[in-house]
Structure 1
Amino acid sequence: MKKVKIVIGANFGDEGKGLLTDYFCSEFPAREKVLNVRFNGGAQAGHTVVKADGRRHVFSHFGSGSFNENNLTYLSRYFILNPMLFVKEYKVLESKGVVPRVYIHKDCLVTFPCDVMINQMAEAHRDKNRHGSCGVGIYETIKRTSNHRKTTIGYIQENFDKLADMIANTIQVYVPKRLDELNTELTDREWELIQNDNITENYIADLGFMLKHTVIADDNIINEYDNIVFEGAQGLLLDADNMEYYPHLTPSHTGLKNAIQILSAVDACDLSLCYVTRSYFTRHGAGLFKTECDRTNIKPEGLRDKTNQTNAYQGSFRYGYFDMAAFRHSVEKDLGFLNRRAGVELAVTHLDETDGFLITDSEKFEVADLLKIMNLNTCYSSYGEKAEDIQCSVL
């Protein structure tokens, strides 16, 4: 029977999904291949994996289990492709001894350079009213492919010789209308960048590289593997349907919904879900953060995140107390999409920073207490940044 694990972030992202994905992928015997499925989001993900030999990588376009030689990545139909970032990351991984093996669903949307530039330029023009976007064009890709032309990777592969014309038409016809919608007036320099032929030529070369180094597939690929790890991006509180936090959300379903749909063709499997949280909350980007506090309130000497640095689009990394009400509500709501038998587990990361406790605004409590509150019995507790730092406990 297939063994399937689904890794889901329960907060605002940055919970440790990369760490847990690497851990679960590495638990399978080295002789057995593992399909690592990305079931939402795109290249805005930043999933950090650190191996015992010192290699470190922040995964965006590839499964976080990729350091394991038996791992293959499947970018499902819900993943948004960015050829420019794909090539950049592919070559970085090669330099670290990894040659990624990747399947791409034929219906994946593909980001154009103008999507990225509109995203970044509009955010810059908003100044202090920025939305907190990651700046890689995810929402703009969805918007363009809904209102102008739906450019999937399958369609582009079949019409690759027309790609330059597709991009030129998009710039001439769609971009001015979109900028009007955004009430954004570009400078002459910004327009020159959007219309730059060299950018288009380099982009086409990158897309050709991506096609050459991947295999176009569909969800039937799931049936070819017995070991599957689904890797979510962002977190449940950022789900597109979580209106309490609107408009500062991600334009995708961050929980079970997509993964369960992909699994619909699988009649039977040994399925387990793992909801991941830090021992405190974080958020990168603008928007409601009910338990936000100074990092020294979590740890007197302060906290420092190696992956999430201050940037022009998301601003500073924000810290907050563990929000029990939000955590419990988001997990229980997400389980409403579960339509088959499954085990439910928790994972708590960054416990080494909080002396093994989860930190709320009024008390410290242990992992065992969280399991009792959630009426669950299995938790993976992480006391470091490597898979070897994870301990599994069962009540």
Structure 2
Amino acid sequence: MVDLGYGDAGKGTVVDALCASAPVRAVLRFNGGGQAAHNVVLPSGRHHTFAQFGSGTLRGVPTHLTRFMVVDPLSLALEAAALGNPFHLLTVDENAPLATPWHRAANQRREVARGAARHGSCGLGIGETMAYGLSHADAPRAGDVRSPALLRRRLAAVEDFYGADPQISLDEVVDVFRAFGQAVSIVGGAYVDRLLGEGPCVFEGAQGVLLDEWRGWHPHTTWSTTTFDNVAELCPSFVRLGVVRTYTTRHGAGPFVTADPTLALPEPHNGVGEWQGAFRAGHFDAVAHRYAVEVCGGVDELAVTHLDVPARVPGLRVCTSYDLEGVAWNRIVPGPFRDLAYQEGLTTLLARARPGATHRPDDWTGEIGSLLGAPVTLESWGPTADDKRHVAAKGSA
């Protein structure tokens, strides 16, 4: 499951609904890290914003953090405490990178130094962890917690690289990371195959395709593959589920063609963040979402959330083309894979684009499915699983 926008489309509530509607062996996190903010509200009113645990945890569904997930043992401990310490439901791939306090501090310093030209960040060191891992073969990984000597050596190397910080104690970090290793089950790469063989699994993505490290509007992107590419490396066959809202949102800096601050759009779980910046909302951007579908290699099904909102916001519309200085533009053409210069060019163009053709559909579900070329199989009319409607795709039993 991937978000076809800039994130915040409702991945948490969709995963919760999937776990409520049928037996699920496990939820597998396949990208991102502790910066996820996936909200789940149970019919009882219990609410949790998931960061690293899978969004099926409140229903007792196990979580597996794959090798593509950046794991932050310190923030994980805080999340676990808020959930009642369900470490028995958690497994972590031994090759998953570990985010440290030095990565987080370096990330925040780098973003502050950009001043008004901030890229947009959660300030949790996810990108810094990935960058460090690309240039250091000895970057800490989850399996290192099984060897105290190796763990200390690798954490000390991170401290040496970034420089000692009086607010960060190496001894304390080592102790917390060792406690993490004792609380969770660290497993090998074959564990994914075992889970898949034992029953249906849900792959829970983080952030959105329009923030993808290679396909998003560079440099306002994430150091994470937000498409289905990581899932394809873990599972040979799967249903590609794309998630969108009835309106488009973006947290932080970067192009957002259909943003409209005059719309009274509700947002109980998002606001201005210290590092992310302002939360913006606007009309459904079919042009950008079609691009997301295309660079994902297509989607099999769609989940549409916030279907209760259009009735309360009469000015909300669907945008099917852009106006770029008098020229109509209804398709964002994908560039060569990993061509960041091309993506930066798109960023420049999108910053100048404005909404072109717009309309207000009578049937939001049908219109979104038609525009994005896939059937809507899950409709969300509210925050809980009870507010979801599962719709059979045409031609299915």
TM-score band w.r.t. shorter chain: 0.7 to 0.9
- Given the alignment, which residue of 287, 305, 316 partners 2:254? 287
Equivalenced residues, count: 348
Does residue 89 (structure 1) correspond to residue 79 (structure 2)? The answer is yes
d(CA) in 2 for partners of 1:356, 1:9: 24
d(CA) in 2 for partners of 1:155, 1:100: 18
Is the CA contact (8 Å cut-off) linking 2:140 and 2:151 kept in structure 1?
no
* 234-243 vs 353-362, greater mean Cα deviation: 353-362
Superposition deviation, residue 355 in structure 1? 1.7
Is the CA contact (8 Å cut-off) linking 1:13 and 1:235 kept in structure 2?
yes
Superposition deviation, residue 119 in structure 1? 0.7
Is the CA contact (8 Å cut-off) linking 1:51 and 1:387 kept in structure 2?
yes
d(CA) in 1 for partners of 2:32, 2:134: 16
- TM-score (norm: length of structure 1): 0.82
Q: 1:101 to 1:356 in 2, by over 3 A?
A: same
Question: What stretches of structure 1 of length at least 5 have no aligned partner?
Answer: 1-6, 177-190, 337-342
Superposition deviation, residue 309 in structure 1? 2.4
Over 6 Å off, 4+ runs: none
d(CA) in 2 for partners of 1:381, 1:373: 16
Task: Give the % identical residues.
Answer: 30
- Report what 1:382 is aligned to: 380
- Report what 1:134 is aligned to: 122
Is the CA contact (8 Å cut-off) linking 1:281 and 1:323 kept in structure 2?
yes
d(CA) in 1 for partners of 2:304, 2:369: 11
- Report what 2:211 is aligned to: 238
d(CA) in 2 for partners of 1:372, 1:145: 42
- Report what 2:269 is aligned to: 307
The residue type paired with residue 27 of structure 2 is: N
Does residue 370 (structure 1) correspond to residue 376 (structure 2)? The answer is no
Superposition deviation, residue 155 in structure 1? 4.6
- Report what 2:282 is aligned to: 320
Does residue 67 (structure 1) correspond to residue 58 (structure 2)? The answer is yes
d(CA) in 1 for partners of 2:235, 2:50: 23
- The within-5 A match list for 1:72-151 is 72-94=62-84, 98=86, 101-151=89-139
Q: 1:304 to 1:205 in 2, by over 3 A?
A: farther
d(CA) in 2 for partners of 1:103, 1:372: 39
Per-residue deviation, residues 170-212 of structure 1 (Å, max 9, x unmatched): 333x226xxxxxxxxxxxxxx7xx2445x43332232122211
- Report what 1:8 is aligned to: 2
Superposition deviation, residue 113 in structure 1? 1.1
The residue type paired with residue 372 of structure 2 is: M
Does residue 27 (structure 1) correspond to residue 21 (structure 2)? The answer is yes
- Partner of 2:202, secondary structure, is strand
Alignment RMSD, CA only? 2.2
Q: 1:219 to 1:167 in 2, by over 3 A?
A: closer
Is the CA contact (8 Å cut-off) linking 1:87 and 1:209 kept in structure 2?
no
- Report what 1:179 is aligned to: none
- Report what 1:255 is aligned to: 227
d(CA) in 1 for partners of 2:50, 2:83: 9
- TM-score (norm: length of structure 2): 0.82
Per-residue deviation, residues 7-49 of structure 1 (Å, max 9, x unmatched): 11000000000111111112224xxx52100011111111000
Is the CA contact (8 Å cut-off) linking 1:25 and 1:34 kept in structure 2?
no
d(CA) in 2 for partners of 1:372, 1:169: 53
d(CA) in 1 for partners of 2:157, 2:289: 45
